Amino acid sequence: MANRMRKELGRNEAEITIIERSHNHIYQPGLGKLLFGLEKPENLVRPTKDLLLKGINLIIDEVTSIDPKGNKVITAKYGDMSYDYLVIATGARLYLDEPEGMKEGLEKGDNVFTFYTLEGTIKLRDALQKFEGGTIVSSIAEMPIKCLGAPLKFIMLAESAMQRKGIRNKCKFVFTTPTLSVPPNIEPYASALNTILKARGIEVILDFTPARIEAENGILEDFRGNRVEFDLLCITPPHMGEELIQNSEGIGDALGWVPCYRDSLMHRSFNNIYVIGDAGNFPSAKTASGARIQTKVLAQRMKAHIRGEVPKATYDGHTVCPIITKHGRAMFAEFNYTKSISPARESYIKWLIDVYMIRPLYWNFMLKGRF
Ligand SMILES: Cc1cc2nc3c(=O)[nH]c(=O)nc-3n(C[C@H](O)[C@H](O)[C@H](O)COP(=O)(O)OP(=O)(O)OC[C@H]3O[C@@H](n4cnc5c(N)ncnc54)[C@H](O)[C@@H]3O)c2cc1C
């Protein structure tokens, strides 16, 4: 967003500052690939400062809250910073206190894992390499989550990996979701994925919201008392907005998501605050591909706003969710707020695009505001 704005506006028109607490940026769409040897950790991390064009101030600090009436953000070390326009892009955080037993299971790291962090991904990758047979379960704790297709991709790739390892007949695969259809919960993708899962012998349990994990007994239980046994559980924890959103009066909802107009990306209560990416309460999926298009729209809208013109660009919810279905095959679920766009078809070309092209595109073009 900052890079796009820097290109759109002259230095006499706008001073652009990013406040970011992390020295490094992680390419999160690569985490699922790292599990199965399709990525290396060093390809997924880059210093934040190297991603920015000249003429953007970077302050490495934690934002503790926003004062929307005073037009300032409050930081941990740097003090207060005032703004004319604020773009909230703080993403989502994992909430580890529920389901019961998840945090302890993840900490122990014997049979409960998540690939929603880089550290967790490396642990799960190592466990998968050592896996010699048994039941692998992928479970979504609650919606919304980042990349709603990722836990499903995981179970399909795990099945494919065990097939390639020659131990498929010693394994069982189960996918649980709190939703009533297979994510991304949109046709024609949900039906096509259902057919693939059935053909591959992957059991799907819908409407399953985990309440408890007993790591020592390998049991996952939902709120109705239904139980699933596992030898290896890959759990996708509940997501919430960042704490600073909850600490800021008038900025977020009870779960820390930022309420905004889905077309203009403007905050519901403050017309000089915008939101992009996972932090917003958009009815579309939380994806980098959606965030990329939002930055294009928002850069145009903010430019118009700053120049006293009427902003015209709008976001239609466009998102592309590449879903690897097995080694050598992928399907792209592409949709917007109102309709699906791409066919629900697997192909080798889509696999090549997802595995080999998207990461270089991300680092060199998307983040640089060139695409
Ligand atoms: C396993 C996995 C697989 C995925 N696969 C895909 C995929 O295939 N395709 C796809 O399009 N998307 C995918 N995604 C989703 C994608 O990564 C996110 O949607 C995208 O990164 C969102 O960008 P963002 O800028 O909103 O948030 P983030 O990239 O998470 O950035 C938020 C930033 O805000 C900073 N921050 C937060 N709070 C504060 C604070 N208080 N003070 C200072 N800084 C703060 C953080 O340090 C972070 O750098 C995947 C995600 C995961 C986890």
270 pLDDT above the threshold of 90 = yes
Residue labelled with tokens 């409050």: 74
Would residue 10 count as lying in a domain?
yes
Would residue 207 count as lying in a domain?
yes
Would residue 161 count as lying in a domain?
yes
Whether residues 197 and 211 share a domain: the answer is: yes
Would residue 208 count as lying in a domain?
yes
* Contact between residue 38 and residue 27 where contact means Cβ atoms under 8 Å apart: no
Please, what is the Cα angle at 262 between 281 and 186, to 5 degrees?
Answer: 75
Whether residues 66 and 107 share a domain: the answer is: no
Would residue 274 count as lying in a domain?
yes
Spell 195-232 as b/e; 16+ CB within 10 A means b: ebbeebebebeeebbbbbbbbeebebbbeeeeebebbb
Would residue 215 count as lying in a domain?
yes
Whether residues 108 and 211 share a domain: the answer is: yes
DSSP state of 279: G
CA–centroid distance, residue 278 to ligand 1 (Å): 7
Whether residues 129 and 221 share a domain: the answer is: yes
pTM of the model: 0.96
Whether residues 76 and 153 share a domain: the answer is: no
CA–centroid distance, residue 4 to ligand 1 (Å): 18
CA–centroid distance, residue 220 to ligand 1 (Å): 28
Whether residues 182 and 264 share a domain: the answer is: no
Q: What is the CATH number of the domain that holds 276?
A: 3.50.50.60
> What does residue 350 show for φ and ψ, rounded to 5 degrees?
-65, -35
Residue ending a domain, among 189, 211, 238, is 238
Lining ligand 1 with CB less than 6 A are: 19-22, 28-29, 31-32, 62-63, 89-91, 115-116, 146-147, 150, 242, 244, 277-279, 286-289, 291, 322
Count of domains forming the chain:
2
Whether residues 196 and 259 share a domain: the answer is: no
Residue ending a domain, among 306, 332, 350, is 306
Q: What is the mean pLDDT of residues 63-75?
A: 98
Whether residues 174 and 217 share a domain: the answer is: yes
> What does residue 334 show for φ and ψ, rounded to 5 degrees?
-120, 125
Q: Tell the residue nearest (CA) to atom 41 of ligand 1.
A: 63
> What does residue 87 show for φ and ψ, rounded to 5 degrees?
-110, 120
255 pLDDT above the threshold of 90 = yes
Closest to 127 (Cα-Cα) out of 220, 40, 35: 35
CA–centroid distance, residue 185 to ligand 1 (Å): 21
Would residue 268 count as lying in a domain?
yes
Phi-psi region of 277 (alpha: psi -120 to 50; beta: other; left: phi over 0): left
Whether residues 77 and 125 share a domain: the answer is: no
Residue ending a domain, among 306, 325, 357, is 306
User: How far is Cα 102 from Cα 333, in angstroms, rounded to an integer?
Assistant: 30
Q: What is the mean pLDDT of residues 82-93?
A: 98
Whether residues 75 and 134 share a domain: the answer is: no
CA–centroid distance, residue 22 to ligand 1 (Å): 12
Q: What is the mean pLDDT of residues 56-84?
A: 97
Whether residues 222 and 128 share a domain: the answer is: yes
307 pLDDT above the threshold of 90 = yes
Q: Tell the residue nearest (CA) to atom 46 of ligand 1.
A: 90
Q: What is the mean pLDDT of residues 233-247?
A: 97
pLDDT at position 371 is: 87
Whether residues 86 and 107 share a domain: the answer is: no
pLDDT at position 284 is: 86
What's the pLDDT tens digit per position in 116-166? Answer: 999 999 999 999 999 999 999 999 999 999 999 999 999 999 999 999 999
Share of the chain above pLDDT 90, in %: 98
Would residue 29 count as lying in a domain?
no
Range of the structural domain that residue 209 is part of: 102-238
